Amino acid sequence: MHRFKIMRIHLVARPVSITMPIHKNNKPHGLLNLHRYKTRRFVLVAQQQTVFTHPSTKKTGSSALIVLHQTGLSTYMMQQIARTSQQSATVFINVKYSTQVLCPIRWFNQSNEIKRCGHGTLAAALFLQQYQGYYPHQFISLSGEIFKITYKLKQLRLSMAQIASKEVTPHKAVVKAINSTVLRSYTSAEEGGYTTVILDDSQPLSTRSILTKPILSAPTALIVLQKDSKTQQWYFRYFAPYYGIDEDQATGSAVSIIAPIIKQLTTQNKGVIIQASKNGARLNYHLTCQSVLLY
């Protein structure tokens, strides 16, 4: 389920009426000082969009701040806007390309530009569908990665490239951060990339204490994965302190790494993954050829 919240912001475009319900847990926050950062003439609208919610299981998902802007908004301005946001991702879309089939997209957290962001991309597509009645069928990042958007069963779905991992001996810093026995450890790259560790189910993943300080200087994102031996349900948590965020409450991009690992271990290529973070998120996925479909 996806929900909108209108942000209080000066508009320099004709406003539209958005009537989708507001989630009760959405909270207003200080977005940005338009006058201080001289963005008033570039920003058309900024709006919060929530994805991967599941009310019946009290999963509130994750929100992204979508900023629709005109040409002229600099990278510095984008980072300053993101720095003042309370969302894990601030997404920037140039209105010039928002009605085209292929649309450039950029994502930032409070301290860095993000290389890839699944939940932010899906949130942007949902926002544009409601705001202008059209969503780009493809988004393209600065690195050239393509994120495809499709519509099925009254839902927008995100397709992104899967990332392969190889099994390795767990890094000492990761073991220290986990402070628990690691059953398996994987990495997607020799340097940087994603590190995935699998833990036993002796303790629920949501209650495990994960220390981010040991991996603060490690240029990697850490995915902690667990399978419930009784229900066969997979759970995960995602940490990226090196890139400016201790724990991401709901992330789509992590599933592009997790799904291929699950298939290696179980031959399962589709299902539901639960993010066992404070907010919680329920992500449906389907692994196909070289991509992962999320909804």
pLDDT digits (tens, 9 = 90+) for 151-182: 999 899 999 999 999 999 999 999 999 988 99
For residue 2, the model assigns a pLDDT of 52
**183, 199 Cβ separation under 8 angstroms:** yes
The residues that bridge with 234 in the sheet, in sequence order, are 227, 273
Superfamily of domain 3-158: Diaminopimelate Epimerase; Chain A, domain 1 (3.10.310.10)
CA distance readout (Å), 229 to 16, 137, 199, 200, 201: 49, 39, 12, 9, 7
**First and final CA of the chain: distance in angstroms?**
9
Q: How far apart are CA 262 and CA 165, in angstroms?
A: 11
Whole-model pTM: value is: 0.85
The stretches in the chain having pLDDT less than 50 are 3-31, 34-35, 37
pLDDT of res. 36: 52
Provide the pLDDT for residue 244: 85
- Domain 166-294 top-level CATH class: alpha beta
- DSSP-assigned beta bridge partners for residue 185: 197
Confidence (pLDDT) at 245:
86
Strand partners, 270: 286
Q: In angstroms, rounded to a whole number, what is the distance separating the alpha carbons of residues 147 and 102?
A: 9
Report the distance separating Cα 199 and Cα 186, nearest Å.
Answer: 12
CB 130 within 8 A of CB 103: no
- Using the Cα atoms of residue 125, residue 131, residue 132 and residue 133 in order, give the sign of their dihedral: positive
Can you give the pLDDT at residue 57?
87
Q: Residue 230: left if φ>0, alpha if ψ -120 to 50, beta else—which one?
A: alpha
Report the chain's C-alpha Rg in angstroms.
19
Task: Quote the tokens at residue 123.
Answer: 């949130």
Q: What is the pLDDT of residue 179?
A: 87
Closest by CA to 188, choosing from 148, 216, 161, is: 161
- What is the DSSP annotation of 204-240? -GGG----SGGGTTSSSEEEEEEE-TTT--EEEEEEE
| Domain boundary assignment for the chain | 3-158, 166-294
User: How far does Cα 292 stand from its chain's mean position?
Assistant: 14
Assess whether the region 3-158 and the region 166-294 belong to the same CATH fold: yes
